[in-house]
Chain A
Amino acid sequence: MTNGIETLASRPIGRRAALIGLAGVAGTLSMPWIARAQAETIRIGFPTPLTGPFAAEANDQVRSAQLAVKLANDKGGIAGRKVELLVRDDKLNAGEAATRTLELIEKDKVHAVVGALSSAVQLAVNEVTRARSMLYISISQSDTINEKDFSPYTFHEALNPTMTTAVVARHSFKKGSKVAYLVADYAYGHEMLRGFKRAAKEIGAQTVSEILHPFGAADYSTFIPTILSSGADILCICNFGRDQANSIKQAVDFGVKDQMKIVVPVLLHNQRLAVDPEVFEGVTGGANYYWGLEETMPSAKSFNDAFRAMYKGTIPTDYGAYGYTGVASLLMAIEKAGGTEPQKVIAALEALKYDIAKGEQSYRKCDHQSMQSVLVLESKAKKAMKSDADLFKIVAAEPASESVLRTCSELGFKS
């Protein structure tokens, strides 16, 4: 450009040349990315099942993730750069998720990926990011992501089945308890079952029946006679999404709750809302987050308040909160690393200590599992609810501890 001005100055300027020059200047002004190339926007890819049976939870994830991005931009960006969230619908399909993730990496040139809601879809995303050395914060329950699917570029912000079941069992199983399991026949159910049985063995609880049900079953009535005749005092139902609401409702219709206590690995906010309070009343289960935590925890209060301010007074839900803690912890690490250079961000994530919604959290160095508080919730009776959102009583909030995880050496890591 300066060159052009010199040559222009050295000879008389024709009308045509002046017009071309003006056009050039206007063009440069309207293309700010040329002038500020070093302040490139930080782009975060976010694949999640916006359509399909987990849509409710997925939309909560997106809203929470957008909150984290907004808060970062409001205080002037991260490491002097603006942040942008690129949300993609993975349609709850592993193939679709892999394609979208690849597109995010190759076409949209994202700096990191956060997301996925189903454990199987998450593993597909993980495979793509691992092969391309792309940072990935995964936010759905999985044990294998800490073991055979481990990637040095992947950090697991969600709870894993081992820690979830260890804490839930500690607060609901007793020595001598007789437990019947009703388990969805796919990865999520199998991993939860394995975790519960591991915990039950330590506690001294006994398995009396184990029923695998097809994923997405509509009618559970034919499984119930076996459960009722098993003599169990606890029915542990390991399934997700609509299956949870459906199976609990039908078990209650058949009087299962009169004979035994119902325990689930994860008590879902949105599924509780899909049935009447008396159906879930007394059902106990784990959670990564519940908005009621704000009564005792300042970081939960500020997260809820920010969420309420952005979304007309509504509250964040369990799986939604993962979207927030996943994106926010990544941004904190990018800030510490001073940029998006992957090795520096990995080092920063491994060293990160954060308390942004639910107490102290940190990523364990060997398997990149987020050590975090695990909540145990009990669904309230209708008369005990103070508002429509007052769904659960917090039975326990176990602070972050490595004791509920399998050890690094158990997982096959050196340290």
Chain B
Amino acid sequence: MTVQLIAMQLFSGLALGAVLIMVALGLSIIFGMLGIVNFAHGALFMVGAYAGLYVAGLTGSFWWALLIAPVMIGLFGMLIERFLIRPLYGRSPDDPLLLTFGLGYVLVEAVRILFGTDGIPFSTPAALRGMVNLGIGFFPLYRLFVIGVVVAVLLLLWIGLEKTKFGLIVRAGSADPLIMRVLGVDISRLWLVVFGIGVGITALGGVLAAPMRNVSPEMGTLVLAEAFVVTVIGGMGSLPGAVIAGLIVGVSVSMTSLFAPEMATIVMFALMAFILLVRPNGLYGRAASGL
């Protein structure tokens, strides 16, 4: 076992972490701002990949798919919020959870009916094929591109939430919706937009994953589990938490792959159990007040 191999393994882990952050972001945003545990997250991720496939088929371009599919599915998410989730606000937090859980099944079946049960090819865009020499070894250009997109999305989110008036209102709204309403802010419109953004980012994750993992109706199942692990370790609803947790999980999976590969999936759940024991609210979690 050479230093080079360990360095390469470490890098693979960080790269995997970036993918996991992308996978978890949508779930984390929707929970953090709206307090909704979105169990349809995995299904929406999958629907995003299929929407990407559809747009790429129509336009012949991956880039259009990357732009249009998340917007399409984000708008679809707004419809879900407006007509399915909004009537449930003010009721027990279990209600939206059960609703999204069922919605996930409906979406998977709908995709099976529309696109069939078989996996469908999704090519890596020509401009992003091939490998890059990192000095410690070669790494696929496409995966480096995904890391770049994740960094860009995180930056945009941070600027949007911390540096704009909109972000200020969203943060205030999530802290105390009642006061915001009294101050004359239309909270329901705000939540509609936030839910749409969360779902759109989830769909973007699906499109980005499509050239790496296969596109199939079941591709969201494992994604839901991965996203939960990252969100729970980071602390439900914390963006910096999701970033740190994604990287930690990625590196743990990668290092386990080197020494005990058959444990590579189980390690993330073991890690989650451990974090829950020592820090029940996750690394960056607030105490669960009011939820």
Q: Which of B144-182 contact A (CB under 8 A)?
A: none
Q: Which residue of A222, A271, A276 is within 8 Å of B253 (Cβ)? A: A222
Contact of B12 among A59, A225, A270 (CB under 8 A): A225
**CB-defined contacts of A102 to chain B, threshold 8 Å:** none
Cβ A255 vs Cβ B131 within 8 A = yes
In the bound complex, do residue B138 and residue A211 qualify as a contact, i.e. CB atoms below 8 Å apart? no
Q: Which residue of B lies closest to A271 (CB)?
A: B119
From B4, B121, B262, A214 is in contact (CB under 8 Å) with B262
Q: Does B102 contact A (CB under 8 A)?
A: no
Structural contact, B265 and A214, CB atoms closer than 8 A: yes
> Using a CB-CB cutoff of 8 Å, which residues 225-273 of chain A contact chain B?
225-226, 228-229, 242, 245-246, 249-250, 253-255, 270-271, 273
Stretch at the interface among B31-39, B216-224, B276-284: B216-224
Within 8 Å of chain A (Cβ to Cβ): is B58?
Answer: no
Contact of B121 with A275 in the complex, beta carbons under 8 Å: yes
Other-chain residue from B16, B117, B258, B263 in contact with A226 (beta carbon distance below 8 A): B258
Q: Is the CB of A276 within 8 A of B121?
A: yes
Q: Are A275 and B214 touching (Cβ within 8 A)?
A: yes
Report if A55 contacts B (CB, 8 A): yes
A56 within 8 A of B: yes
What residues of B have a CB within 8 angstroms of the CB of A305 in the complex?
Answer: none
Contacts A219-B212, A276-B123 known; 5 new A-B pairs at CB < 8 A = A221-B16, A228-B137, A242-B216, A273-B118, A273-B119
- Binary interface encoding of chain A residues 197-226 relative to chain B, with 1 for a CB under 8 A from any of its CBs, else 0: 000000000000001111011110111111
Nearest Cβ in chain B — how far from A28, in angstroms? Answer: 45
Given that A214-B264, A229-B2 are known contacts, is A221 also in contact with B143, CB under 8 Å in the complex? yes
Residues of chain B with a CB closer than 8 A to A185's CB: 262
- The answer to whether B262 and A222 touch across the interface, beta carbons within 8 angstroms, is no
Interface of A is mostly: helix
Docked pose: A218 CA to B210 CA in angstroms? 11
Complex CA–CA separation, A52 to B217 (angstroms):
9
Residues 231-254 of B contacting A (Cβ, < 8 Å)? 253-254
Contact of B264 among A56, A217, A229, A274 (CB under 8 A): A217
Q: Is the CB of A255 within 8 A of B138?
A: yes
B12 and A222 contacting across the interface, CB-CB below 8 Å: yes
Chain A positions within 8 Å of B4 at CB level:
229
Q: Is B86's beta carbon under 8 Å from chain A?
A: no
* Complex-state Cα separation, A118 to B136, whole angstroms: 41
B42 nearest CB across to chain A (Å): 11
B84 touches A (CB below 8 Å)? no
Q: Within the assembled complex, what's the spacing in Å between the Cα atoms of A52 and B253?
A: 26
B261 within 8 A of A: yes
B106 within 8 Å of A (CB atoms): no
Query: Taking the complex as formed, is A53 at the interface, i.e. its CB lies under 8 A from any CB of chain B?
Result: yes
A404 CA to B134 CA, complexed, in Å: 46
> Which of B16, B124, B264 is packed against the most chain A CB atoms within 10 Å?
B264
The reply to whether A246 and B261 form a contact with Cβ atoms under 8 Å apart is: no
Which of A211, A218, A271, A276 contacts B261 (CB under 8 A)? A211
A213 vs B253: C-alpha distance when bound (angstroms): 12
Q: Is the beta-carbon distance between B213 and A218 smaller than 8 angstroms?
A: yes
In the complex, chain A residues 272-286 whose Cβ is within 8 Å of any chain B Cβ: 273-276, 279
Q: Is B229 an interface residue (CB 8 A)?
A: no
The interface residues of chain A lying within 8 Å CB-to-CB of B118 are 56, 270, 273-274
Contacts of A271 in B (CB 8 A): 119
B212 smallest CB distance to A (angstroms)? 7
Q: What 3 A-B pairs are tightest by C-beta distance, nearest first? A: A274-B119, A222-B257, A212-B262
Residues from chain B with Cβ under 8 Å of A275 in the complex: 119, 121, 214
Interface residue B140 (Cβ < 8 Å from any Cβ of A): yes
User: Do the beta carbons of A56 and B2 come within 8 Å of each other?
Assistant: no
User: Out of B138, B213, B218, which one reaches A53, CB within 8 Å?
Assistant: B218
Docked complex Cα distance between A16 and B19 (Å): 83
With contacts A219-B213, A276-B123 taken as known, whether A253 is within 8 angstroms of B266 at the C-beta atoms is no
Are B9 and A222 in contact, CB atoms less than 8 angstroms apart?
yes
Binary CB contact string for chain B from 1 to 27 against chain A (1 if under 8 A, 0 otherwise): 010110011001101100100000000
Interface residue? B120 (CB, 8 A): yes
A225 touches B264 (CB 8 A): no
Query: Assuming A214-B264, A254-B140, A274-B120, is B12 touching A221 (CB within 8 A)?
Result: yes
Residues of chain B within 8 A of A255, CB atoms compared: 131, 138, 140
